[in-house]
Structure 1
Amino acid sequence: MTSALLHAVVGSPQTPSARPADAAHRKHHKPNGKGFQNPWASYIEQSGPQILLKILGMRISGKWKDPDTTPPTVPVHKPNFLPTRETKSLRTTWLGHASFYVEFPGGLRVLFDPVFTERCSPFSFLGPKRYTPAPCQVEDLPYVDAVCISHSHYDHLSHPTVVKLAKKFPNAQFFVPLGNRTWFENSGIRNVTEMDWWEERELTLSATDSTTSALERDNSNPSQPSDIRATIGCLPCQHTSGRTPFDKSRTLWAGYSITSGGKKLWFAGDTGYRTVPETQTTEFDYSEKFDDLPSCPVFKEIGELRGPFDVGLIPIGAYDPRWIMSPMHANPYDSVNIFADSKCKTALGMHWGTWVLTSEEVLEPPRLLKKALEWKGLDEKVFHVCDIGESREF
């Protein structure tokens, strides 16, 4: 079956979804206009040098532990993408770390935070290296209509990857948080839609030639192709951004909601949930002793205003040492709270199993997720993990 070229139109929805009453105040914009901030008590700012000094101190004292990446770790399979745009289910394929390929009923194909390089680094010879291989490459993807980028960190935004994607899929639309458009345009990519938190865009894909059998939806007139339509929302999360030591939080970070073909998905992005104090190193930080720690309020807002979601893609890894990483990375106990707050019917864990970014054991996140679900009183079937390259249908 020949793949049809699709003409994409991006516009504003005629009927916008609900947003918080204070969204127009844009408290996440820094007052000086030079970047963004997390405007909640759940986040305590740490500079890059502060974090590096803390890690260096732990290494010198012997308190830092490097996880063992000796195989076997996470199973990796070659993805089985659908050969056409036909599917009745919402179908997700985990490509490692925060990368997902999602196939929607009705034909839409979306790629989240694609990174196919060996290292998540500005260098090909230095920086975190994969301990599990990429399950595929750009050349293996059958269709890409939209690429959603959560933020500018190297484990979520890869220059070689997005350039290859734009070359193979010239009509693909890139959706990015505020401040990232210039980077894409400097990379030669023009199909870029920049969004602020709580904003939405309507994406309409129309066939441009007669080879459109994969898009036919009208049984009464099989020769008439249907448009593919989607609503893409940019939603808050608790994190930072930056690609150099000098541009921290100059561009925005975000998650996304995608509604298409009667299904609704939420990609949480990279996020923390609460800030655990430095004095906490060994205790369980969801005990009564830590009940006064504030949690990020936006996930309940997302659930109440944009949920429920058929599936959520929620981070569960890169959280240890907790007192360093908690402002910006969720551990599985945070993750199940985020799941409940956001009103997801089911969820898959991400942001683990690919690069060593922190010090927890590489297979600890899924083990801890089971314990967290039990602690929360949730069935483990509602929030689970899959192998790299594995597809799940919802």
Structure 2
Amino acid sequence: MVGKRFFHAFKSCFKGSPTARTMATSAGILVASKTGLPVPEDVKEKKHHLPNGRFANPWPSWQDINRVELGKWAITGYFAGSWPKPEAKAISVVKPQFEESRTGVKELRATWLGHACFLVEFPGGFRALFDPVFCHRCSPVQFMGPARYTKVPCEIEEIPLVDAVVISHAHYDHLDVGSVKRIHAKWPEAHFFVPMNNKKWFKSLGIDNCTEQDWWEDMEITIDLSKGKDAATEGETASTLSATISNFPCQHTAGRTLTDLNSTLWSSWGVTSGGKSVYFAGDTGYRAVPKVEEGEDDYGEKYQDLPYCPAFKQIGDLRGPFDLGMIPIGAYSPRQFMSPMHANPYDSVNIFVDTKCKKAIGMHWGTFVLTNEPIMEPPQKLRDALKAKGIPETGVFDVVATGESKIFTDEA
């Protein structure tokens, strides 16, 4: 009864509001708009929305990519055999260890599950899964396309609990139909949070537990712990668990076919629960760098005036600091093609600083061959970039083994 009274009371708070969005599920989960958090002064201008219904990066740091030249480079490199060939077991893989119950989660813990996929466990028991891709190939089909060279550390069915699934954008290495179906089959009550115009894709799979958000929109998910698997035992007082899910900008593109370029939005995200907050950068660039000579430093004096994406500093100033950042460090070469949409480690460290993350874990490397930098170069360049910025090379912005967990406390 306690849970039922809470659910209807909470729902009634938003009745009749023209701007609030609410969504209840059969498992006792409520998702509602959250207002009052700081946003940029020009947020209502929606400069990233185009008149044709598509989206754009509204900053000088973005430069459109010559897709014909990019295609030629990719095809030539593939048939010439110049793409990196990973050695067997180049990236360490360990079996993840998850808390089986909510009550066992006392501290913030993040587990890297390969590429851009993380499971984050918050104090109090809320759990968010980011960009889950458990397939063999990040491709429209599973008989061709970039293949996983690092095995998955666990299967979806081995994860004990997921409350929210957060998706950065619709590219195949971040949104996989098979993985989404398996997640929904195991946790039909789990709620998906996606950027604008992605909800229809989930509805086509029969998934209604989905909320789409624009940049700088915030939602609150509240879970009634008297329901379903979380039901309190006799004599216990039912309680609730909540989290704030915040959609933020990043610099990228989106699409799943040859005709839907940028018809869906791309995003980075913030999630706050149990007194802890994390920043998930998704897939993003930081600057647009022209073609550079082999071995040339694109952060050298020649390139020091290149504009950088201002969104990250806005995020840090308005919503930081974050206890943990999950920030991409790979898939950045060649720079003339990749820099607008993929950060290299020097960009990554700047994103880390701009967003005011206290600690970070590198992602978007070590799983699929998407570009032509050497497989183990991103971690080395990350150490170099940290040193150049005067940040300790270990213990602040680290890389971990696939499947490895890190705990983040106030003292850590």
Is the 8 Å Cα contact of residues 48 and 245 (structure 1) preserved in structure 2?
no
Residue 120 in structure 1 maps to residue 138 in structure 2: yes
Name the CA distance, whole Å, in 2 between partners of 1:141 and 1:57: 40
Whose relative contact order is higher, 1 or 2, with alpha carbons under 8 Å and at least 6 apart? Answer: 1
The alpha carbon displacement at 1:212 in A equals 4.0
Name the CA distance, whole Å, in 1 between partners of 2:260 and 2:248: 22
Is the 8 Å Cα contact of residues 288 and 339 (structure 2) preserved in structure 1?
yes
Which letter does structure 1 place at the counterpart of 2:253?
Answer: T
The alpha carbon displacement at 1:6 in A equals 4.6
1:335–1:282 CA distance, 2 compared to 1 (3 A): same
The alpha carbon displacement at 1:54 in A equals 3.7
Q: Deviations over 1:35-85 (max 9, x none)?
A: 10001110101153342124446678x7x8311211231101111111111
Number of the residue aligned with 1:42: 61
Residue 82 in structure 1 maps to residue 99 in structure 2: yes
Q: Which of 13, 32, 37 matches 1:17?
A: 37
Which letter does structure 2 place at the counterpart of 1:178?
Answer: M
Number of the residue aligned with 1:257: 270
Q: Which of 86, 94, 97 matches 2:115?
A: 97
The SS at the match of 2:387 is helix
Number of the residue aligned with 1:178: 196
Residue 8 in structure 1 maps to residue 29 in structure 2: yes
1:222–1:257 CA distance, 2 compared to 1 (3 A): farther
Which letter does structure 2 place at the counterpart of 1:147?
Answer: V
Is the 8 Å Cα contact of residues 212 and 225 (structure 1) preserved in structure 2?
no
Name the CA distance, whole Å, in 2 between partners of 1:154 and 1:58: 21
Moved more, 378-387 or 154-163: 378-387
1:168–1:210 CA distance, 2 compared to 1 (3 A): closer
Q: Which of 220, 229, 234 matches 2:242?
A: 229
The SS at the match of 2:349 is helix
- TM-score by length of structure 1 reads 0.93
Q: Which of 65, 70, 73 matches 2:82?
A: 65
Large movers: runs of 4+ above 6 Å:
none
Name the CA distance, whole Å, in 1 between partners of 2:235 and 2:41: 46
Is the 8 Å Cα contact of residues 28 and 227 (structure 2) preserved in structure 1?
no
Q: Which of 146, 149, 156 matches 1:131?
A: 149
Structure 2: gaps of 5 or more residues: 1-25
The alpha carbon displacement at 1:115 in A equals 0.5
The alpha carbon displacement at 1:281 in A equals 4.7
1:143–1:344 CA distance, 2 compared to 1 (3 A): same
The SS at the match of 1:28 is coil
Name the CA distance, whole Å, in 2 between partners of 1:291 and 1:368: 19
Structure 1: gaps of 5 or more residues: none
The SS at the match of 2:149 is coil
Name the CA distance, whole Å, in 2 between partners of 1:211 and 1:119: 33
Q: Which of 216, 241, 247 matches 1:198?
A: 216
Is the 8 Å Cα contact of residues 238 and 271 (structure 1) preserved in structure 2?
yes
Q: Which of 328, 333, 339 matches 2:352?
A: 339
5 Å-filtered alignment, 1:216-295, equals 223-295=236-308
Number of the residue aligned with 1:29: 49
Number of the residue aligned with 2:328: 315
Name the CA distance, whole Å, in 1 between partners of 2:258 and 2:294: 27
1:286–1:93 CA distance, 2 compared to 1 (3 A): same
1:46–1:211 CA distance, 2 compared to 1 (3 A): closer
Name the CA distance, whole Å, in 2 between partners of 1:38 and 1:259: 26
Q: Deviations over 1:73-112 (max 9, x none)?
A: 1101111111111222100000000000010011101000
Number of the residue aligned with 1:392: 406
Is the 8 Å Cα contact of residues 49 and 55 (structure 2) preserved in structure 1?
yes
Is the 8 Å Cα contact of residues 43 and 274 (structure 1) preserved in structure 2?
yes
The alpha carbon displacement at 1:121 in A equals 0.6
The SS at the match of 1:101 is strand
1:290–1:147 CA distance, 2 compared to 1 (3 A): same
5 Å-filtered alignment, 1:298-313, equals 298-313=311-326
1:99–1:210 CA distance, 2 compared to 1 (3 A): closer
The Cα RMSD (Å) is: 1.8
Which letter does structure 1 place at the counterpart of 2:32?
Answer: G
- TM-score by length of structure 2 reads 0.89
Is the 8 Å Cα contact of residues 280 and 323 (structure 1) preserved in structure 2?
no
The SS at the match of 2:185 is helix
1:58–1:136 CA distance, 2 compared to 1 (3 A): closer
Name the CA distance, whole Å, in 1 between partners of 2:215 and 2:344: 23
Name the CA distance, whole Å, in 2 between partners of 1:243 and 1:274: 24
Is the 8 Å Cα contact of residues 89 and 150 (structure 2) preserved in structure 1?
no
Residue 376 in structure 1 maps to residue 394 in structure 2: no
1:210–1:58 CA distance, 2 compared to 1 (3 A): closer
Is the 8 Å Cα contact of residues 307 and 344 (structure 1) preserved in structure 2?
yes
Is the 8 Å Cα contact of residues 328 and 364 (structure 2) preserved in structure 1?
yes
The percent of aligned pairs where both chains have the same amino acid is 52
1:222–1:38 CA distance, 2 compared to 1 (3 A): farther
